[in-house]
Structure 1
Amino acid sequence: MKKKKIQIFDTTLRDGEQVPGCKLNTKEKVKIAKQLESLGVDVIEAGFPTSSPGDYQSVQNICKSVLQTVVCALSRAVEKDIEIAGEALKYANRPRIHTGIGTSSYHIRYKFNSTPEKIIEKAICAVKYAKKFVEDVEFYAEDAGRTENEFLAKVCENVIKHGATVINVPDTTGYCLPKEYGEKIRFLKENVKGIHKVTLSTHCHNDLGLATANSLYGIMNGAKQVECTINGIGERAGNTSLEEIVMIIKQNSHLNLFTNINTKLIFSTSHLVSKCTGMKVQSNKAIVGLNAFSHSSGIHQDGIIKKRETYESINPEDVGINQSSIILTARSGRAALAYRYERLGHSLSKKFLDLVYSIFLKYADKKKEITDKELKTILKKANNNKKILHSNTSSRRINVV
């Protein structure tokens, strides 16, 4: 069976930048956008042009710098927003306007003080107006996760009828369970007239730690685009992590899916975004965290040394990391110690390794991690002890004689 392509829509420069404390200037945004194009993302959401003159300028500059990738600009279902987005995108080779409105009862009643009928009318008007500026119009039904499926289907059907090319189904508050979100996507696939003409897209937030799982269930039920960010950054608890969803697809061939992402650039892209945004990647973050391919338990280290796959489902080289790390701690065993010494150019006999290991444990109990410099000190101490032992043994032999 032929594999189906999943488009990767990266919103690091828009939703990702909305993290408190994160601010990117135009130069940094352009640099990241170029890296995202090299990475192979299908769509770059460059910003929200109406939000500030700086964001408008950044979107324009990205449009001039990106050659092949679709460049997308966000807007509300407001004519002025849409017009400014269209102007900001005028230099893009492949422009897309991303417009929409809240569709849940919470948004309709409390945010807009409106009615379902008026929301549909505004949605139609927004899509029709956006079509005056670009052919490619994506519609987002904000808070779709908490929107009743029947009403959501009605909204989608109307905007498709008036020219929407992509339908975004956001779980804006990270409310859905994976099965529930997947069923929502499936419901739209089976009940919306004209749905086969458009691309269904997931946009999941991580408030309950389910963003990646929800996106996965979305594409397993018919979505063909995933909206995500590098390192999973974004509002509140963040968004679906690009590196996670891409590697899940890559590692699970039975899903029969693929992306255009050059996974060997994942780690360098993660580092660039972290450096520019000032948002550090947590050490235990999947795929790109400092500890993702690090091993400190003796049992795990022994397994990794014998066969990497015993404790790693992903080859670190596939995401741009040279090799796994064997971290020496008080939990490490002789195999890991011997391995690290071999990398330093020292092959230790079993008997001598026992001596070195006994000294190593005394050091390791006092420190979190033993460095190469300390390994050299330990080896020197072990050699001195060996000489002393040898000298004592020789003396005893003389006395006996």
Structure 2
Amino acid sequence: MRIFDTTLRDGEQAPGNAMTPAQKLEMALHLEALGVDCVEAGFPASSPSDFEATQRIARAIKRSRFATFSRTRRNDIDLAVEAGGIENHEVQMVATGSDIHLKYKRGITRAEAVSEVATAVSHAIALGITHVSVGIEDASRSEDRFLRELTETAVGAGATCIILADTTGCMVPQEYGDLIAKIRSWVPEGVRVSTHCHDDFGLSLANALAGLEAGADEVQVTLGGIGERAGNTPMEELAAVLSYKGGHYNLHTDIELSEMYRAYTALRGMINLAEPRNKPIFGTYAFGTVAGIHQQGILSNPATYEYVEPENFGRERSLLIGRHSGRSILRHLLEDLGAEVNENTLHDIYRRHVADRQGSDCEDLSVLRKRLEAEVRDRPAELSTTL
């Protein structure tokens, strides 16, 4: 299945995420190196900055395809082609897909929305674009008859991909899977069906997976899940699921797992995004633990508490010390230092370094190791050592 990355468009347009053209080019090259199938460069008609970013990315991208975002307006499409040319360029245009958007945002009828799609797709084809995708905005709140008319009109005019946007993140997986299945049954073989899911219920990944099971060929993602409101389907979570559960879905991607965290770190630096503690794959402590029971298991065999392995994602496991840690980690450190202690001495060290810790902060294992090294050095009579 294909990965379409919208970090530089949907992700970048969200509050706090703005990037310069130079930064967008740098990120586009990171994304291409990860192996994404298509990098969305931006919305050229929206600003001179997006126009310039598209120019730079179009010249630099070689292995991946690049895409632009347009409204169903000739001028938007003209500017997209002016910025990016026609080679290796996917023109993505957004169709108005629900009555609530028609009435309150656009002030047009269903018939006018359908006519816009036919005209816009035909115009892009006439300009020489061979990859034309139509994203149906708010498809999750559309009505079947209207949705089918939009879809069949787009395909009839030459669209090569239909994108179903759960724009408000209002669907649950069964609903979204059913939506994708309908579209898959309405379009001919060879026309891609793509997911675009938002995370307002925390279900963007689950909905995208349901879409794949229902016949979608492509998932639109962002690095770290950034995007409007609660964000989009996170690339790293989708890639992780398909790496470990690809056999279940009979699908795979070519994403380079081990380089994703490096790319995410670069992205965070550009947009000044704090690293969350508990985010899957990318969280500070996604592969860390302070709990004694967990540490005891991990020291014996990491598989006891790790199904997702940190080294596959360019991460390292971290065992931290806090008041929830146990004696196992102390034994491990002391043995590593060549020290042998009896139970009374171990209890004393545990009380002073672990149990009596104030507050909820934890510290890295290396900090405790240095303190224990000092004790082994300063208390040789009590801490029998082979050092």
Shorter chain as denominator, the TM-score bin is: over 0.9
Residues 1:49 and 2:44 are matched in the alignment = yes
Q: 1:24 and 1:175 mapped to 2: Cα distance?
A: 29
Equivalent position of 1:177 in the other structure: 172
What is the TM-score with the length of structure 2 in the denominator? 0.93
Output aligned runs, 1:194-205, within 5 Å.
Answer: 194-205=187-198
Counterpart among 263, 282, 292 of residue 288 in structure 1: 282
SS at match of 2:136: strand
Residues 1:149 and 2:149 are matched in the alignment = no
Equivalent position of 1:140 in the other structure: 135
Output aligned runs, 1:84-123, within 5 Å.
Answer: 84-90=79-85, 93-123=87-117
Output aligned runs, 1:17-28, within 5 Å.
Answer: 17-28=12-23
Q: 2:360 and 2:326 mapped to 1: Cα distance?
A: 16
Shift of 1:154: 1.9
Q: 2:333 and 2:301 mapped to 1: Cα distance?
A: 16
Q: 2:334 and 2:313 mapped to 1: Cα distance?
A: 27
SS at match of 1:15: helix
Equivalent position of 2:61 in the other structure: 66
Q: 1:367 and 1:181 mapped to 2: Cα distance?
A: 41
After the TM superposition, which of the residue ranges 274-283 and 289-298 deviates more from structure 2?
274-283
After the TM superposition, which of the residue ranges 79-88 and 16-25 deviates more from structure 2?
16-25
Q: 1:88 and 1:341 mapped to 2: Cα distance?
A: 63
Deviations 1:156-205 (A, max 9, x none): 11111111011100000001111100011011222x1x432311000001
Residues 1:242 and 2:235 are matched in the alignment = yes
Equivalent position of 2:339 in the other structure: 348
Could you say if the C-alpha distance between residues 81 and 296 of structure 1 is closer, same or farther in structure 2, counting changes exceeding 3 Å?
A: same
Shift of 1:373: 3.5
Contact 1:359 1:378 in 2 (8 A): no
Counterpart among 26, 31, 36 of residue 31 in structure 1: 26
Residues 1:210 and 2:203 are matched in the alignment = yes
Contact 2:339 2:383 in 1 (8 A): no
Counterpart among 242, 247, 268 of residue 262 in structure 2: 268
Task: Look up the equivalent residue of 2:92 and give its one-letter code.
Answer: H
Task: Look up the equivalent residue of 1:56 and give its one-letter code.
Answer: F
Could you say if the C-alpha distance between residues 285 and 62 of structure 1 is closer, same or farther in structure 2, counting changes exceeding 3 Å?
A: same
Larger Rg: 1 or 2? 1
Contact 1:50 1:81 in 2 (8 A): yes
Task: Look up the equivalent residue of 2:237 and give its one-letter code.
Answer: E
Q: 2:38 and 2:383 mapped to 1: Cα distance?
A: 68
Output aligned runs, 1:221-260, within 5 Å.
Answer: 221-252=214-245, 253-260=247-254
Q: 1:46 and 1:339 mapped to 2: Cα distance?
A: 50
SS at match of 1:131: helix
Q: 1:35 and 1:86 mapped to 2: Cα distance?
A: 24
Q: 1:278 and 1:124 mapped to 2: Cα distance?
A: 41
Deviations 1:31-74 (A, max 9, x none): 11111111000000000001111110110001111111111000
Equivalent position of 2:159 in the other structure: 164
SS at match of 2:339: coil
Counterpart among 181, 197, 205 of residue 186 in structure 1: 181
Counterpart among 2, 8, 11 of residue 6 in structure 2: 11
Equivalent position of 2:35 in the other structure: 40
Task: Look up the equivalent residue of 1:248 and give its one-letter code.
Answer: V
SS at match of 2:322: coil
Q: 1:385 and 1:139 mapped to 2: Cα distance?
A: 73
After the TM superposition, which of the residue ranges 357-366 and 67-76 deviates more from structure 2?
357-366
SS at match of 2:8: coil
CA RMSD after TM alignment: 1.9
Shift of 1:212: 0.9
Q: 1:146 and 1:282 mapped to 2: Cα distance?
A: 32
Counterpart among 264, 288, 293 of residue 299 in structure 1: 293
Contact 2:334 2:340 in 1 (8 A): no
Counterpart among 321, 332, 342 of residue 328 in structure 1: 321
Q: 2:235 and 2:329 mapped to 1: Cα distance?
A: 33
Could you say if the C-alpha distance between residues 297 and 218 of structure 1 is closer, same or farther in structure 2, counting changes exceeding 3 Å?
A: same
Shift of 1:350: 4.8
SS at match of 1:60: helix
Shift of 1:358: 2.8
Percent identity for Structure 1 against Structure 2: 34
Contact 1:19 1:234 in 2 (8 A): yes
Q: 1:236 and 1:221 mapped to 2: Cα distance?
A: 26
SS at match of 2:189: helix
After the TM superposition, which of the residue ranges 366-375 and 33-42 deviates more from structure 2?
366-375
Q: 2:330 and 2:160 mapped to 1: Cα distance?
A: 58
Contact 2:321 2:354 in 1 (8 A): no
Structure 2 gaps, min length 5: none
Q: 1:121 and 1:148 mapped to 2: Cα distance?
A: 17
Residues 1:308 and 2:302 are matched in the alignment = yes
